[in-house]
Structure 1
Amino acid sequence: MKLRSKGQLTVPIEIRQHLGLHEGDEVEFTIHGNVVHLTRAQANRSHGRRIASRLRGRGTSGMSTEEIMGLLRGED
């Protein structure tokens, strides 16, 4: 693995999968002697929350909030 000119590395897919890392996740580096540890940052939102935040406000159903709530409640 080569360090790029701007100090960037590509984290191999096996490591990303093992840590559950996805695009946009925060990671932390800690140094112990000559060893660097890469960990997933604790403040990360779950994958589902990231997807929901990306989709929020994009959907259109043509229905009002009250109509949607009525469907969810089973009202006719």
Structure 2
Amino acid sequence: MRVTEKGQVTIPKHIRDRLKIGPGSEVDFVATGDGVRLVKGNADSGEIKDFDAWAASVEGRVDLGGMSTDKFMEWIRGVRDDLHDR
């Protein structure tokens, strides 16, 4: 597959058919460690296909509602009966 002077590529028909990609479909190219992946998308879905992008989008958004770290850990893990005085 060749890239045109405008930076365009043609997605092979068997791939378009398999992913149900047609005129007006949204697609994205996602960089991977050894190349790139074509991902079918939906511009209106708000779906994030890249974990790093998702992690960056939620960074710093935890609201504990004033809960202390100890209370939060207890809430996450559950009460540990074996740690309380006997």
CA distance in 2, matches of 1:12, 1:32: 20
Aligned pairs (5 A) from 1:1-76:
1-43=1-43
Structure 2: gaps (5+ residues): 46-86
User: SS state of the match for residue 16, structure 2?
Assistant: helix
> Which TM-score applies when normalising by structure 1?
0.53
Whichever residue aligns with residue 42 of structure 1, its letter is N
User: SS state of the match for residue 28, structure 1?
Assistant: strand
Identity value in percent: 38
Structure 1: gaps (5+ residues): 46-76
Return closer, same or farther for 1:16/1:4 CA change in 2, 3 Å cut-off: same
Return closer, same or farther for 1:27/1:33 CA change in 2, 3 Å cut-off: same
CA RMSD of aligned residues (A): 1.8
CA distance in 1, matches of 2:16, 2:26: 12
RCO (CA 8 Å, sep 6+): is it higher in 1 or 2?
1
Please identify runs of 4+ aligned residues in structure 1 that moved more than 6 A.
Answer: none
1:30–1:36: 8 Å Cα contact kept in structure 2? Answer: yes
- Aligned-pair CA distance for 1:43: 3.5
